[in-house]
Amino acid sequence: MAVRKLEHVSVMVKDMARSIEFYRTVLGMELLGTLDHQNGIKLAFLGFPGAGETLLELVEGYNDSLPAEGKVHHLAFTVDDIDAEIARIAGLGVTFIDPDITTLPNGAKYRFFYGPDGEWLELFQPAE
């Protein structure tokens, strides 16, 4: 199996600037980068200084109807070869959410699938 680590936890937010400031000020995280996704969705990636890894992905513009306790959108897992992992887990009977792999502007690739209780999980292959 080629899943290497937990890539990130994705949290949907209403106000990206406010959320970035919160995680920076309250938790001491640093902004590692931002990305404009499709359909007006904005992404921000945060990690802890010196860790060298993204731990938190903030998503703005996907769904503004958040419950009071917030909304974890998905858990992402880093893979070396997304095509091989998709083939492997397809053989295990998982149901995919996306019809195909999505490639981000930076070259990273991902595809979502459901966990056993309907939770969203993501296979993520970083850009080379």
Whether domain 3-125 has CATH 1.10.3720.10 = no
Strand order in the sheet with 30-36: 30-36, 42-47, 56-60, 3-13, 71-79, 120-125, 109-114, 102-103
pLDDT digits 0-9 by tens, 46-99: 988 887 777 888 888 876 676 665 677 787 888 899 999 999 889 988 899 999
Q: 97 with 120: CB under 8 angstroms?
A: yes
Domain boundaries, the chain: 3-125
| pTM attached to this predicted model | 0.65
pLDDT digits 0-9 by tens, 28-50: 789 999 989 888 889 999 988 88
- Residue 5's pLDDT band, with cuts at 50, 70 and 90, is confident
* Token pair for 105: 């502007």
